[in-house]
Structure 1
Amino acid sequence: MSSQPAPERYASFQAFYPYYIHEHSNRTCRRIHVVGTTVVLAAFVGFLFTMNPWWLLAMPVVGYGAAWIGHFFFEKNRPATFRYPLWSLMGDWRMWFETLSGQRKF
């Protein structure tokens, strides 16, 4: 699995985000991430409408499942989530927003 070397620790999310984007240079991987994040949001809306906790349990399965498929089969690298869980989650949402707002290619 190829990957850009990550420093020992990043000092800020702003410093981490370029690394995060580099780890998502494969277009199919990015697309799977965006779709997975959208489904996570839909599951949360499903929870709000039904108050069924199964929707909450589905959120990480769908979100991480989609992301990991993108990384292991298309990007061929190890997801940053394993080393930077919070910043990776923040990166997912930022990349999702940038994609939907046209700032990043889908």
Structure 2
Amino acid sequence: MNKPDSFSSFQAFYPYYLQEHKNRTCRRLHVVGSLLVLTILLYAVVFGNWPLLWFIPVVGYGFAWVGHFFFEHNKPATFKHPIYSLMGDWVMLKDVLTGKLRW
């Protein structure tokens, strides 16, 4: 596995991302946060309630960071790899929803 500071692609990063999300409660909090982000986004668009969009990073990162700090006991990958980490959140959500990854 690559060192946490050296990734040449998202494909190389994702196994590391999954390694940092071994704790089921942490993964569950990521899934809940991501689904809430989608819910807020949909609600804001449908009802034109644009100020709600300010809550997206709070909800998304809030659930994820609680998972990391209190259950996984590691630092979120967002701190060193923000783009790949954001991509990882959505790929992990897809993997959970399609049954490829246990949650």
> Aligning the two structures, in what range does the TM-score lie when normalised by the shorter sequence?
over 0.9
Question: Is 1:33 equivalent to 2:63 in the alignment?
Answer: no
Structure 2 match to 1:98:
95
Q: Which amino acid aligns with 2:91?
A: R
Q: Which amino acid aligns with 2:66?
A: I
Rate the CA distance shift 1:85–1:6 in 2: closer, same or farther, 3 A: same
TM-score (norm 1): 0.92
Q: Is the 8 A contact 2:30 2:64 kept in 1?
A: yes
Question: Is 1:45 equivalent to 2:75 in the alignment?
Answer: no
Corresponding residue to 1:20 among 13, 17, 31? 17
Residues 46-73 of structure 1, C-alpha deviations (whole Å, 9 max, x = no match): 1111222222111110000000000000
| Matches for 1:76-87 after TM superposition, within 5 Å | 76-87=73-84
Q: Distance in 1 between matches of 2:5 and 2:20?
A: 16
Q: Which amino acid aligns with 1:20?
A: Y
TM-score (norm 2): 0.95
Question: Is 1:60 equivalent to 2:46 in the alignment?
Answer: no
Aligned structure 1 segments of 4 or more residues deviating by more than 2 angstroms: 4-9
Percent identical pairs in the alignment equals 53
Q: Which amino acid aligns with 1:61?
A: V
Q: Distance in 2 between matches of 1:78 and 1:6?
A: 15
Count how many residue pairs are aligned between Structure 1 and Structure 2.
103
The answer for unaligned runs of 5 or more in structure 1 is none
Q: Please tell me the root mean square deviation across aligned C-alpha atoms, in Å.
A: 1.5
